[in-house]
Structure 1
Amino acid sequence: MFSLENENETFKIDARRRMILLGGLFASGTLIIGGQLFHLQVMNGGEYRDLAENNRISLQPIPALRGRILDRHGRILVENSPDFQLAVIPELTGDIKTFIKRIQPFIDMSPEKIDKVLRQAQRQRSFLPLMIQSRLTWAQVNQIESRIHTFPGASIQVQTTRSYPNGNTAAHLLGYLGEVNDKDNLQFSDIHFRSGDIVGKTGMERMFEMALRGKEGFREMEVNAVGRHIRELKRQPARPGPDLRLTIDVELQAEAERALSGLTGATVCLDPNNGEVLAMVSQPSYDPNQFIRGFSNDEWKQLVTDPKRPLINKAIQGQYPPGSTFKMVVALAALREGKIDAQTRHFCNGSVVKDNHTFNCWKSGGHGHIDVVAALEQSCDVFFYKVSEALGIDAIARQAKNMGLGEITGIGLEGEKPGLMPSRAWKKATYGHAWYPGETLITAIGQGAVLATPLQLACMISAVANGGRIFRPTFVPTSKDDIPPPTHLTSFSAAHLALVRKGLTAVLHGKSGTARQFKPEKVMAAGKTGTSQVVKHKREKSGKLIKESNELFKDHALFVAYAPLEDPRLAVSVVVEHGGHGSSTAAPIAKRIFDFYFDKYGTS
């Protein structure tokens, strides 16, 4: 018989079973969830925390355009040009080797370039752009663009690159760019360079790096854990560098380079009234665009091993005995010290003997009785030998220093050499020996230990042109009301200066002047030829020079000059390595420069 008590007992047992089952299921679920949480938070917590943190902000730089470089009339010397580049997204393109094989007929990649691209493809993520080829020509761009639909993931991108539209013209002056190194980081400590950044290495590109480079901008990007862009959050545009206007006249520069073409040496053209550099030439030269395009191993080896040193700016780094161009310094020193005057005459018979050594004049038969004006006109060595004996080396050194020799000009270009002006103290400190009287004689004609750069020689002749002021040469234009003070002020006596100028004018316009065949066509000029020995000359018993056949042993040819005589506007120095004689090699170059300049700009 069914009773209420039995029914109640059965219900209790069933309820107890359900509670146990539910409790077991709940406990199992709790254990599973707890285990997963332990795995995520404890075992892999660091990994997921890094992923979450990386899925945040990436600051991407926006490069600033470098400022252009212009000449004094606003003509472009350096600019930024479009660089057409072929890039692909590997995850869309597929196998890169196959892509390169298909695109090769249109872009002609070298085996070295292909290998470099394949290595880069292995190093980077497949969703990032891979650079295939830069500096594509218009023809290449057109060929690829017309077939772009057959190359998934490929695109033509446009970047900017530095361009030197005049090629080799003014290459040493303008300089070139290169990848940043430790030296750059030290010199430009205010710039926060990144690996691979480009910086000015030489010339104007380096001298004005801080101004030309502008200020880079940035993009604030949200990226995921593996670096894929999600969205742009903020953008700060880059600020381009300002244009830089120089004192250089690119047409005069180009003409001076043509005049020196095929030779080794340098030419400097200054405005003697303020030190502005109108042209600065060093030959042989190079194409700074090649530093942007890149060199092959053979090309670079040829450039750096060339014995004519095309990478050296000979205008500021070439140090040469000034030869007879130095005689104007000796003449001014002797006049100042009262050792000679306008009436002083010395007899030249072709040589002098000092301490059992014979010192020859370039003219073996001698010049006869000669004064300072004629000695400058005809470049008589014996006159200056005799003057220097009375004057002494230290007086010569003082005058040379006052005219900017023996120290850097302060032009601001890296690597400028100071030249050398010897003295008694210099020899004692350098060699530990006393100065010999014969050394004074050879110094007086610009030989021996004395050295000068073409830029220093241009400053020297400028001082004679402007009345004794040595300006720091500059590439930054100055106004008439803002001419910087001279770095040296040599107060020439008006009478002494007139005497030396008369001799320098006779060099070009006198009947016996050493450069009379190469006087300018449109203006009267004053100048001085110079020939500096590389090795000791060999002579016949009669005293006549034996012509040197080895090109490397030939004399250097020099010439310095200014024009017009009244109100000078252009001072020029020319040095031709192993050029022979200043009168026959260097003077014609200066004549060509003067003729071009005054034909173009007039004489007034």
Structure 2
Amino acid sequence: MKKTAAAAGAIALIGGLSACNNRESAEDKMQEFTDAWNNQNFEEMYGYLSSDTRAQINKETFINRHETIYEDTNAEDLTIQTGETDENNEGEEETALPFSVSMTTSAGDVSFEQEAAWVLEETEDGEEWQLDWSPSYIFEELGWEETINVERTKPARGEILAEGGEPLATNMETTRVSLVPGSLGEEREDTISTIADELNIPKENIDEALDQDWVTDESAVPVKTLSPDEEAAASEVEDLPGVQLSEVGNQRYYPEQEAAAHLTGYIGNISGEELEERGGTYTQSSQIGKAGLEYVYEERLRGEPGMLISTSEDDVVAEQEAVAGEDVQTTIDISLQERAYEQIQEDTGATVALNPQNGNTLALVSAPSYDPNNYIYGWPEDELNEFNESDNRPRAAKFNSTYAPGSTVKPITASIGLSNEAITPDEEMTIEGLEWQPDSSWGGYSVTRVNDELSEVNLREALITSDNIYFARTALNTGAEDFTAGLESFGFNQEIPYDFPIENSSIASDGLDSEVLLADTGYGQGQMQMSPVHLASAFTAFVNEGDMLAPQLLASSDREVWEENVVPESGISAIEAGLEGVVEDERGSAYEPVNENISISGKTGTAELKQAGEEEGTENGWFVAYDNEDEDLLIASMIQNVEERGGSSYVVEQTKPLFEE
């Protein structure tokens, strides 16, 4: 019997040793687990978890939680590697095995080392090594009760700067006004009305904000972000019941307001169409340049958004910092921009100022205007209605649109005629009377001029007296083909080489296909259309020995000749003398008002706009001029509806003061 008992004990011992020997090692289990992990097979991974872990998190939650974390963080190239250990866990019930984790995420690379806690537990298949899972195995900063937050961090938008670094568009810290519904008190309606009045917003807007589905009595509901110009309103409402004030940084602000609205433009929320077109790092919450320089230089100004992955306890897992946008330094002269706007702010028109020596843009002004800050901080109700109902299209810039240039084109006609030997500088053209036509084939149509004091007219006199007949005949003598080529050398039918989008100037819809149209085009009527920016650029040729300069907006831009020798050397002095006479000679259309403080040369123009069947129409007035002494300022101004205000003389009156120091 003793022998039998001993044998039985030996068999049991052998069986126990056999079971131990058949059990997978913790290292083998770890390798299997990491294989499943590398494949992000969370269902399989759950099968390796300890009973304590399973009691803490069920299978479905485990799978969903970790799939969501990896998906939200855009985790890619996940690599889990087991480490080496010198420890012998034979006979142990717990062991810690090293491993490393690496991956790329939307916020950059993540890598760390950890130790996996394995415990020996009794299972249906006998004792097995099971993993005491920890959320820190996913990200070492993550705990059981914490969640992962992924947020895009907004870059500071670059500033738009004028000459000397003065801001045209900048970023400011300002105040946001919020309301807590449950704290508005018994006088809720009166309080809301007072706030609406003080903040100059419709009461309905506040009511709509408070009626949103997510709002509770304790919610802080934003109702208005104050512009820097409205900060005083904060003190008027801060003591009212239910009002909360908070600081908001990085808000776009346009300090020049109406004076530079069409130049700077504004930013706004990206549209679905813009998002589809832009793609990249833009999202549904992005803001984008909508108009003006904000639109033109969007790629430079916007910067690159950053990404932040953090826990709900604000522990940073990974961070890719936002890259601030680039500042854009322009050549704009703030003082001249403001003064130019003051001169035409009650009108409908545009003023463009260039330095004719290098093409630098000194001012781009359009009227009527608007405050671009309203697109950022909200429109006062009365202003918005007026803005939307105006017939003068205050949203649209006038300096980059095209109009009939009237007599301002006559120096260009002269240049083309000289280049084609249709006229010479001193040759006198015989012109009798106020009307002219080449022959009876014109029927009842003829070209008219203002007076017939001169019957022998040379180029200088023709410019001073703005003789329509002289320039109509010059165009006819040049011929349609050569005249068209000459206009194209001056930039017509071309894309303007300018960062700011400019409508192309045009000659005629179907070409100069008749003598009448050719003649009319010679003195700026017909179908010819020209933008103020283009006109200013064309006149740089009279200051640069015949070379026309491309307009520039950026301080970093080099002087660029757009077209060479558009004015022949033989005719420059005669044209310059004529343009000076327009201002200095009593017969000149820009003689009055006399201003002894300036010395300028220029050309006026009036374009009559008539609808079919009308005997009289509205008039656009023009004046383009440059400084004679320093030759560092050239201005082209256009004002609409001047027919009852003296025509182009009104434009001269508004423009001359801009040449004063």
Alignment correspondent of 1:163 = 253
In 1, distance between residues paired with 2:218 and 2:389?
A: 44
118 and 400 in structure 1: CA distance in 2 versus 1, 3 angstrom threshold: same
- 1:401 corresponds in structure 2 to 488
How many equivalent residue pairs?
Answer: 518
SS in 2 for 1:576: strand
**CA distance in 1 between partners of 2:612 and 2:181 (Å):** 73
Say whether residues 1:589 and 2:654 are aligned partners: yes
Pick from 347, 351, 357 the counterpart of residue 435 of structure 2: 351
Cα distance, 1:126–1:209 mapped onto 2, change above 3 Å = farther
The Cα shift of 1:67 comes to 2.0
Decide whether the 8 Å contact of 2:161 with 2:328 is kept in 1. yes
Matched residues in 2 for 1:238 and 1:107: separation? 36
Distance 1:171 1:244 in 2: 16
**Where does residue 523 of structure 2 map in the other structure?**
445
Candidates 576, 581, 591, aligned match of 1:501: 576
Distance in structure 1 (CA, Å) of the matches to 2:464 and 2:181: 79
Matched residues in 1 for 2:611 and 2:223: separation?
59
> Structure 1 residues 507 and 232, CA, compared in 2 at 3 Å: closer, same or farther?
same
CA spacing shift, 1:105–1:524, aligned 2, 3 Å: closer
Asked if 1:302 corresponds to 2:394, the answer is no
Match of 1:572 in 2: 635
- Any conservation in 2 of the 1:268–1:280 contact (CA below 8 Å)? yes
In 2, Cα distance between equivalents of 1:164 and 1:501: 40
Which residue of the partner structure matches residue 337 of structure 1? 420
In 1, are the aligned partners of 2:224 and 2:377 still within 8 Å (CA)? no
2:330 is the alignment partner of 1:246: yes
Aligned to 2:165, what secondary structure does the other structure show? coil
2:605–2:623 Cα contact (<8 Å) kept:
yes
Question: Counterpart amino acid of 1:201?
Answer: K
Q: Which segment drifts farther, 575-584 or 165-174?
A: 575-584
> In the aligned structure 2, how far is the partner of 1:530 from the partner of 1:60?
58
Segment drifting more, 581-590 vs 166-175: 581-590
Partner secondary structure for residue 250 of structure 2: strand
Task: Check whether the contact 2:549–2:562 (CA below 8 A) recurs between aligned residues.
Answer: yes
The verdict on how the C-alpha distance between 1:364 and 1:86 changes in structure 2, with shifts beyond 3 A counting, is closer
Deviation at 1:134, TM superposition (A): 2.9
Q: Alpha-carbon deviation of 1:390?
A: 1.6
CA drift of 1:592 comes to: 1.3
Structure 1 residues 522 and 399 mapped into 2: Cα distance closer, same or farther (>3 Å)? farther
SS in 1 for 2:431: strand
User: Structure 1 residue 396: deviation in Å?
Assistant: 1.9
Q: How does 1:4-43 map to 2 (within 5 A)?
A: none
Distance 1:220 1:320 in 2: 55
Cα distance in structure 2, aligned partners of 1:586 and 1:564? 19
Structure 2 match to 1:197: 286
User: Do the aligned partners of residues 522 and 230 (structure 1) sit closer, same or farther apart at CA in structure 2, a change above 3 Å counting?
Assistant: closer
Contact 1:343–1:371 (CA under 8 A) maintained in structure 2 = yes
Contact 1:141–1:156 at 8 Å: present in 2 too? no
- The CA deviation at 1:179 is 0.9
Amino acid at match of 1:483: D
C-alpha contact 2:263 2:293 (8 A) present in aligned 1: yes
| Distance across 2 between alignment mates of 1:254 and 1:79 | 17
Q: Residues of 1 paired with 2:445 and 2:238: CA distance? A: 79
> 2:624 — aligned with what?
560
Whichever residue aligns with residue 289 of structure 1, its letter is N
In structure 2, the CA distance between the partners of 1:453 and 1:361, relative to structure 1 (3 Å rule), is same
Q: CA deviation at 1:444?
A: 1.0
Q: Which residue in 1 is equivalent to 2:64? A: 50
Which letter maps to 1:463? A
The equivalent of 1:534 in structure 2 is: 609
Give, as a single letter, the amino acid of the residue that structure 2 aligns with 1:250.
Answer: I
The secondary structure found in structure 2 opposite 1:466 is coil
Segment of structure 1 superposing worse, 322-331 or 466-475: 466-475
Q: Pick closer, same or farther for the CA change 1:197–1:119 going to 2, 3 Å.
A: farther
Give TM-score scaled by structure 1 length: 0.77
Shift of 1:126: 9.8
Q: Does 1:369 align with 2:383?
A: no
| Distance in structure 1 (CA, Å) of the matches to 2:283 and 2:498 | 30
Gaps in structure 1 of 5+ consecutive residues? 1-36, 224-228, 429-433, 540-545, 600-604
Alpha-carbon distance, 1:307 to partner: 1.1
CA contact (8 A) 2:547 2:567 kept: no
Which residue does the alignment assign to 1:116? 208
Measured after TM superposition, the shift of residue 189 of structure 1 is 4.0
- 1:231-253 CA-partner distances (Å, limit 9, x unpaired): 44455443332332210101101
Opposite residue 69 of structure 1, the aligned amino acid is I
Whether 1:181 and 2:271 are equivalent positions in the alignment is: yes
Native 8 Å contact 1:172 1:313 kept in 2: yes
1:403–1:459: 8 Å Cα contact kept in structure 2?
no
Determine the C-alpha separation between the residues in 1 that align with 2:303 and 2:217.
33
Greater relative contact order: 1 or 2 (C-alpha under 8 angstroms, separation 6 or more)? 1
Q: Is the 8 A contact 1:96 1:118 kept in 2?
A: no
2:344 to 260, 263, 282: 260
Name the structure 1 match of 2:132: none
**1:437 corresponds to which letter in structure 2?**
E
* Counterpart contact for 1:442–1:448, Cα < 8 Å: yes
Contact 2:504–2:530 at 8 Å: present in 1 too? Answer: yes
1:439-461 deviations in Å (ceiling 9; x for gaps):
11111111011110111110111
- Would you say the 8 A contact 2:174–2:231 is kept in 1? no
Output the amino acid matched with 1:404.
G
Structure 2: runs of 5 or more not aligned: 1-50, 70-145
1:470 equivalenced with 2:548 (yes/no): yes
**Residue 321 of structure 1 pairs with residue 404 of structure 2:** yes
Maintained 8 Å contact 2:496/2:534: yes
Distance 1:155 1:459 in 2: 50
- Counterpart AA for 1:281: V
Q: Which amino acid aligns with 1:165?
A: P
Contact 1:327 1:384 in 2 (8 A): yes
Looking at structure 1, the residues matched to 279 and 473 of structure 2 have their Cα atoms a distance apart, in angstroms, of: 55
Question: What amino acid maps onto 2:506 in structure 1?
Answer: L
Distance 1:130 1:395 in 2: 68
* Partner Cα separation in structure 2 for residue 439 and residue 145 of structure 1: 67
1:51-93 deviations in Å (ceiling 9; x for gaps):
56566422112222222222112222222222222458xxxx7
* 1:47–1:119 distance in 2 versus 1, CA, 3 Å: farther
Distance 1:130 1:60, change over 3 A: farther
Answer yes or no: is the 8 Å Cα contact 2:415–2:568 preserved in 1. no
Is residue 474 of structure 2 the alignment partner of residue 387 of structure 1? yes
Question: What fraction of aligned residue pairs are identical, expressed as a percent?
Answer: 24
Output the aligned Cα RMSD. Answer: 3.4
CA distance in structure 2 between the partners assigned to 1:66 and 1:99 by the alignment: 43
**2:303–2:325 contact (8 Å) kept in structure 1:** yes
Query: As a proportion of its length, which structure holds more helix?
Result: 1
Residues of 1 paired with 2:62 and 2:484: CA distance?
77
Matches within 5 A, 1:93-104: 95=182, 101=188, 104=192
Change (3 A) 1:215 1:279: same
Match of 2:151 among 60, 71, 74: 60
Alpha-carbon distance change, 455 to 187 in structure 1, aligned in 2, over 3 angstroms: farther
SS in structure 1 of the partner of residue 550 of structure 2:
coil
Residue 300 of structure 2 is aligned to residue 211 of structure 1 = yes
Given that 1:508 and 1:518 are in contact with CA atoms closer than 8 Å, whether structure 2 keeps it comes out as no
- C-alpha displacement at 1:174, in angstroms? 0.6
C-alpha separation in 2, matches of 1:235 and 1:451:
54
